Structure 1
Amino acid sequence: MSENQRRELIRIAEEMNEVSNEETQQFISRIVSDLSNLKPSIAFVGQIKAGKSRLINGFTAQAGYLPSDVNPWTTVITDMHFGHPSGRTDGAEFHFFDNRQWQALIAEGEELRNMFPDDEDSYKREMIEEQVDAMKTRAKLRLGESYKHLLGQHHDLEKLTSEDLARYVCAGDDPSEDGVYDPGSDRGLYSDITRKAEVFFDIGHFPFPVTVTDTPGVNDPLLIREEISRQYLKESDFFVVVLSAHQALSRADLKLFRLMQALELGQIVVFINRVDELGGGADDATKVRSDVMDGLDKALGNSDIDVLMGSAQWAHYALTGDETGINHDDVLAWLRAHPEQMKQYLDGVEEIKQGPGPISREGVLRFAAMIASGLPDLRRHVTSALNDGPRNEHLRMAWQHLNGFAQGEVERSKAHLRAIDDETADSPNSASENDKTLANLRELVSDKTAGIVNDMDEVLANLRGVMDDTVAEAVSGVVRGPGGASPLLAKGGETELNFGPLRDRMRELVQGATQVVRQRMLSELYAVDMQSNAALRSLPGWQDTTDNRMNTSAVRWFRPDTTALTRGITVELRVTWLSRLISRKSVVSRAEQMIVQEFEMIGDDLVDTARADLLERLNTVLDHYLALLAGHLEHRSGTGETNARTEAQHAFDSAQRVADELEAVFGPDSSNKILPEAAE
Structure 2
Amino acid sequence: MSESDRRELIRIANDMNEVSNDETRQFISRIVDDLSNLKPSIAFVGQIKAGKSRLINGFTGQAEFLPSDVNPWTTVITDMHFGHPSGRKAGAEFHFFDNRQWQALIAEGEELRNMFPDDEDSYKREMIEEQVEAMKTRARLRLGDSYEQLLGQQHDLEELTSDDLARYVCAGDDPSDEEEHDPGSDRGLYSDITRKAEVYFDIGHFPYPLTVTDTPGVNDPLLIREEISRQYLKESDFFVVVLSAHQALSRADLKLFRLMQALELGQIVVFVNRVDELGGGAEDAGKVRADVLDGLEKALGNSNIDVLMGSAQWAHYALTGDETGINHDAVLAWLRAHPEQMKQYLDGVEEIKQGPGPISREAVLRFAAMIASGLPDLRRHVTTALTDGPRSEQLRMAWQHLNSFAQGELERSTARLRVLESEEDSTAQNADENDKTLASLRELVADKTNEITKDMDDVLANLRGVMDDTVSEAVSNVVRGPDGQSPLLAKGGATELNFTPLRERMRELVQGATQVVRQRMLSELYAIDMQSNAALRSLPGWQEPADNRMNTSAVRWFRPDTTALTRGITVELRVNWLSRLISRNSVVSRAEKMIVQEFEMIGDDLVDTARGDLMERLNTVLDHFLALLAGHLENRTGSGETCARTEAQADFDRARRIADELGSAFGSEHAEDIQAEAAE
What is the CA-CA distance between 1:175 and the residue it aligns to? 2.7
Tell me what 1:290 maps to.
290
What residue identity is the alignment partner of 1:214? D
Within a 5 Å distance, the mapping from 1:124-203 to structure 2 comes to 124-176=124-176, 185-203=185-203
Residues 92 and 160 of structure 1 are in contact (CA less than 8 Å); yes or no, is this contact kept in structure 2?
Answer: yes
**Structure 1, gaps ≥5 residues long:** 116-120
TM-score by length of 2: 0.89
| Residues 676 and 475 (structure 1), Cα distance of their counterparts in 2 relative to 1, 3 Å cut | farther
Residues 263 and 567 of structure 1 are in contact (CA less than 8 Å); yes or no, is this contact kept in structure 2?
Answer: no
What residue identity is the alignment partner of 2:652? F
Structure 2 residue matching 1:172: 3-state secondary structure:
coil
Tell me what 1:488 maps to.
486
Whole-Å separation in 2 of the counterparts to 1:477 and 1:174: 48
Whole-Å separation in 1 of the counterparts to 2:533 and 2:508: 37
Residues 431 and 637 of structure 1 are in contact (CA less than 8 Å); yes or no, is this contact kept in structure 2?
Answer: no
Whole-Å separation in 2 of the counterparts to 1:265 and 1:153: 38
Tell me what 2:233 maps to.
233
CA-to-aligned-CA distance 1:431-464 (integer Å, 9 cap, x gap): 3332232222222222222232223323433444
Whole-Å separation in 1 of the counterparts to 2:426 and 2:659: 27
**Which stretch of the first structure deviates more once superposed, 49-58 or 222-231?**
222-231
CA-to-aligned-CA distance 1:385-429 (integer Å, 9 cap, x gap): 111211112111111111111111111111222233344454597
Structure 2 residue matching 1:669: 3-state secondary structure:
helix
Residues 110 and 125 of structure 1 are in contact (CA less than 8 Å); yes or no, is this contact kept in structure 2?
Answer: no
What residue identity is the alignment partner of 2:421? D
What is the CA-CA distance between 1:477 and the residue it aligns to? 7.4
Whole-Å separation in 2 of the counterparts to 1:44 and 1:565: 20
| Residues 447 and 667 (structure 1), Cα distance of their counterparts in 2 relative to 1, 3 Å cut | same
| Residues 460 and 200 (structure 1), Cα distance of their counterparts in 2 relative to 1, 3 Å cut | closer
Residues 243 and 249 of structure 1 are in contact (CA less than 8 Å); yes or no, is this contact kept in structure 2?
Answer: yes
Tell me what 1:18 maps to.
18
CA-to-aligned-CA distance 1:305-361 (integer Å, 9 cap, x gap): 111111111111111111111121111111112111111111111112222210111
Whole-Å separation in 2 of the counterparts to 1:471 and 1:227: 24
Tell me what 2:243 maps to.
243
Tell me what 2:207 maps to.
207
CA-to-aligned-CA distance 1:205-232 (integer Å, 9 cap, x gap): 1111111111222222333444433332
What is the CA-CA distance between 1:84 and the residue it aligns to? 0.9
Residues 74 and 216 of structure 2 are in contact (CA less than 8 Å); yes or no, is this contact kept in structure 1?
Answer: yes
Structure 2 residue matching 1:155: 3-state secondary structure:
strand
Whole-Å separation in 2 of the counterparts to 1:334 and 1:389: 32
Tell me what 1:57 maps to.
57
Tell me what 1:118 maps to.
none
Whole-Å separation in 2 of the counterparts to 1:476 and 1:322: 57
Residues 234 and 265 of structure 1 are in contact (CA less than 8 Å); yes or no, is this contact kept in structure 2?
Answer: no
Within a 5 Å distance, the mapping from 1:256-405 to structure 2 comes to 256-262=256-262, 267-405=267-405
| Residues 359 and 219 (structure 1), Cα distance of their counterparts in 2 relative to 1, 3 Å cut | same
Residues 269 and 308 of structure 2 are in contact (CA less than 8 Å); yes or no, is this contact kept in structure 1?
Answer: yes
| Residues 561 and 374 (structure 1), Cα distance of their counterparts in 2 relative to 1, 3 Å cut | closer
Whole-Å separation in 2 of the counterparts to 1:152 and 1:400: 43
Within a 5 Å distance, the mapping from 1:462-501 to structure 2 comes to 462-468=462-468, 486-488=484-486, 492-493=490-491
**Which stretch of the first structure deviates more once superposed, 517-526 or 626-635?**
517-526
Whole-Å separation in 2 of the counterparts to 1:509 and 1:330: 51
Structure 2 residue matching 1:269: 3-state secondary structure:
strand
Whole-Å separation in 2 of the counterparts to 1:166 and 1:96: 15
What is the CA-CA distance between 1:279 and the residue it aligns to? 1.6
What residue identity is the alignment partner of 1:407? Q
Tell me what 1:415 maps to.
415
Whole-Å separation in 2 of the counterparts to 1:432 and 1:131: 69
Whole-Å separation in 2 of the counterparts to 1:457 and 1:376: 47
Residues 72 and 222 of structure 2 are in contact (CA less than 8 Å); yes or no, is this contact kept in structure 1?
Answer: no
Whole-Å separation in 1 of the counterparts to 2:134 and 2:124: 15
Whole-Å separation in 1 of the counterparts to 2:194 and 2:333: 44
Tell me what 2:533 maps to.
533
Residues 239 and 266 of structure 1 are in contact (CA less than 8 Å); yes or no, is this contact kept in structure 2?
Answer: no
Residues 467 and 506 of structure 1 are in contact (CA less than 8 Å); yes or no, is this contact kept in structure 2?
Answer: yes
Structure 2 residue matching 1:674: 3-state secondary structure:
helix
CA-to-aligned-CA distance 1:595-651 (integer Å, 9 cap, x gap): 554554444334333322332222122111101001111212332211111111111
TM-score by length of 1: 0.89
Residues 407 and 547 of structure 2 are in contact (CA less than 8 Å); yes or no, is this contact kept in structure 1?
Answer: yes
What residue identity is the alignment partner of 2:196? K
CA-to-aligned-CA distance 1:230-260 (integer Å, 9 cap, x gap): 3322221111112222222211111111112
Whole-Å separation in 2 of the counterparts to 1:112 and 1:259: 17
**Which stretch of the first structure deviates more once superposed, 494-503 or 367-376?**
494-503
Tell me what 2:82 maps to.
82
Within a 5 Å distance, the mapping from 1:118-129 to structure 2 comes to 123-129=123-129
What is the CA-CA distance between 1:574 and the residue it aligns to? 7.1
Residues 266 and 385 of structure 2 are in contact (CA less than 8 Å); yes or no, is this contact kept in structure 1?
Answer: no
Whole-Å separation in 1 of the counterparts to 2:236 and 2:508: 30
Structure 2 residue matching 1:192: 3-state secondary structure:
coil
**Which stretch of the first structure deviates more once superposed, 343-352 or 489-498?**
489-498
Whole-Å separation in 1 of the counterparts to 2:366 and 2:394: 38
Whole-Å separation in 2 of the counterparts to 1:489 and 1:371: 48
Structure 1 residue matching 2:213: 3-state secondary structure:
strand
Structure 1 residue matching 2:217: 3-state secondary structure:
coil
Whole-Å separation in 1 of the counterparts to 2:379 and 2:114: 34
CA-to-aligned-CA distance 1:183-225 (integer Å, 9 cap, x gap): 8532222111111111111111111111111122222233344
What is the CA-CA distance between 1:658 and the residue it aligns to? 0.6
| Residues 472 and 41 (structure 1), Cα distance of their counterparts in 2 relative to 1, 3 Å cut | closer
Question: How many residue pairs align between the two structures?
Answer: 668
Whole-Å separation in 2 of the counterparts to 1:320 and 1:520: 59
Residues 479 and 487 of structure 2 are in contact (CA less than 8 Å); yes or no, is this contact kept in structure 1?
Answer: no
Structure 1 residue matching 2:127: 3-state secondary structure:
helix
Structure 1 residue matching 2:547: 3-state secondary structure:
coil
Whole-Å separation in 2 of the counterparts to 1:303 and 1:122: 37
What residue identity is the alignment partner of 2:130? E
**Which stretch of the first structure deviates more once superposed, 259-268 or 402-411?**
259-268
Structure 2 residue matching 1:173: 3-state secondary structure:
coil
| Residues 41 and 425 (structure 1), Cα distance of their counterparts in 2 relative to 1, 3 Å cut | farther
Structure 1 residue matching 2:542: 3-state secondary structure:
coil
Structure 2 residue matching 1:191: 3-state secondary structure:
coil
What is the CA-CA distance between 1:264 and the residue it aligns to? 5.6
What residue identity is the alignment partner of 2:664? A
What is the CA-CA distance between 1:559 and the residue it aligns to? 4.9
| Residues 440 and 108 (structure 1), Cα distance of their counterparts in 2 relative to 1, 3 Å cut | farther
| Residues 160 and 454 (structure 1), Cα distance of their counterparts in 2 relative to 1, 3 Å cut | same
Whole-Å separation in 1 of the counterparts to 2:133 and 2:508: 47
Structure 2 residue matching 1:81: 3-state secondary structure:
strand
Structure 2 residue matching 1:455: 3-state secondary structure:
helix
Residues 239 and 269 of structure 1 are in contact (CA less than 8 Å); yes or no, is this contact kept in structure 2?
Answer: yes
**Which stretch of the first structure deviates more once superposed, 622-631 or 267-276?**
267-276
Whole-Å separation in 2 of the counterparts to 1:643 and 1:656: 20
Within a 5 Å distance, the mapping from 1:431-510 to structure 2 comes to 431-468=431-468, 486-488=484-486, 492-493=490-491, 510=510
- The percentage of counterpart residues that share the same residue type is 83
Whole-Å separation in 2 of the counterparts to 1:595 and 1:301: 23
Tell me what 1:653 maps to.
653
CA-to-aligned-CA distance 1:150-195 (integer Å, 9 cap, x gap): 11111111111233222222222333479xx998532222111111
